[in-house]
Structure 1
Amino acid sequence: MNAPVFAHGQMRLYLLMLLADSPKHGYELMTAIEQRFNGTYVPSAGTIYPRLAKLAEDGLIAKRTVGRKTVYEITDAGRAELRARRDETERIERTIDTSVRRLADDLRADMRRSMAALRADMTADERDIARARRSARPAPRAADEASGPLREGQRVVERYGRELREALRAADAAGSLDDAAVDALREGLDRLARTLRDRTRRPR
């Protein structure tokens, strides 16, 4: 996500909060933040490691090498910092709750836009297919050779199928996917399929 989820200085303090629970290496810290945001925000290495280096420089955390990994752990000075800033740590948790809801709303809006675009494109394709059928009967072709409109229609279905699957996975990760959303998706696709069949049915 491009929108900031931490105010200035909050990421540094949140890393201290995570390390207060247990020592962690950098990837574990990134994963812990991703899970806290239900997958809607994933910090980059460029976001995490410079802050860890500054925390170590300030004596708030220590680092040690375990195998091929660098593990970070909070120091007594770091715990004292958390105690002194307890009000701020509580505000960070409230800020994260607000950010998770906002990011989940953004994902739902993206899913609705994808559905609307799919409906619009399929409607346009249905009109093209209907015009092609009215203008002339298709020339004989090999059984495995698809017509231009058919190929384009298949590409549309594949493209929006991928987008819908990505939107569903994102909504599920955000915890905003429920039976009602799936039912709405099913009903929308059923309507599109019926419309396509009605528009392209040969007259008897």
Structure 2
Amino acid sequence: MTPVFAHGSLRLYLLSLLAEQPRHGYELIQALSDRFGGTYIPSAGTIYPRLAKLEEEGLVTKSTDGRKTVYEITDAGRAELLARQGELDAIETEVTDSVRRLADEVRSGVTAAMKSLRADLASAKRQARGEGPVRGAGGTGTSGSGSTGPGADPRAESSRAIHEADMVLNEFRQQLRADLRGQASRSLVPTDTVPELRRRLAEVREGILASLSR
């Protein structure tokens, strides 16, 4: 979601950020980026003219702290913020909705990736049962797969590996969902999370399939 502020909305949001605490220009840019999960990063050319306008209207004041110019909301600014609280609530609602949509997309991406991996593993299992063990499957599944010595049944070992892989996938999905929900409760989830997740899972899948075909 790339938020597009309607006329006057960014000005209002800047006032709300300054109502929380005095900030300099870069802190306002960073705060906006954080609130929108990195989907909206205003330029200095967008922020400073609006701050100058707010100062001109008597809604904020500025002071110098070393090399930094710090902006602070005035009583008049707080009064305008209070009068336009309904508009501010609407902006905050859109932010919340966008984060929820992103979280849903992440969950869908994880589910789809897990289904794809399970389908590949199930195919390998059918191959092992009907055409003998997949080359390399017994040798690569050494972690927690039991004995793979001369007396071991290759098909049984392959089935055990498939079962353990399925458990690992379930554990991964549950843990990642918990991690994402925890992150969403603390702050926004970056919008590049889903593409990065898909890329990483595709790499894992390719690596597993390559090891099976060796």
Superposition TM-score, scaled by structure 1 size: 0.54
Q: What residue number does 1:173 align with?
A: 183
Q: What residue number does 1:117 align with?
A: 113
Q: What residue number does 1:29 align with?
A: 28
Q: What residue number does 1:12 align with?
A: 11
Give yes or no for contact 1:30–1:43 (8 Å, CA) kept in 2: no
Distance 1:22 1:85 in 2: 14
Give yes or no for contact 2:124–2:134 (8 Å, CA) kept in 1: no
Distance 1:56 1:138 in 2: 66
Give yes or no for contact 1:25–1:70 (8 Å, CA) kept in 2: yes
Gaps spanning 5+ residues in structure 1: where?
177-204
Give yes or no for contact 1:34–1:42 (8 Å, CA) kept in 2: yes
Distance 1:59 1:99 in 2: 23
What is the correspondence of 1:1-204 to structure 2 with a 5 Å cutoff?
2-4=1-3, 6-30=5-29, 32-33=31-32, 37=35, 41-42=37-38, 44=40, 46-47=41-42, 49-58=44-53, 60=55, 61-67=60-66, 69-74=68-73, 76=74, 79-80=75-76, 83-84=79-80, 86-132=82-128, 134-137=130-133, 146=140, 161=172, 165=176, 168-175=178-185
The amino acid that maps onto 2:47 is L
Distance 2:14 2:126 in 1: 59
Distance 1:168 1:53 in 2: 39
- CA spacing shift, 1:30–1:170, aligned 2, 3 Å: farther
Gaps spanning 5+ residues in structure 2: where?
142-157, 187-214
Distance 1:169 1:26 in 2: 32
Q: Deviations over 1:5-24 (max 9, x none)?
A: 64343122111222134311
State the SS of the aligned residue for 1:4. Answer: coil
- CA spacing shift, 1:137–1:15, aligned 2, 3 Å: closer
Distance 1:56 1:33 in 2: 14
State the SS of the aligned residue for 2:140. Answer: coil
State the SS of the aligned residue for 1:47. Answer: coil
Q: Deviations over 1:24-46 (max 9, x none)?
A: 134543565567x5xx63465x5
Give yes or no for contact 1:63–1:73 (8 Å, CA) kept in 2: yes
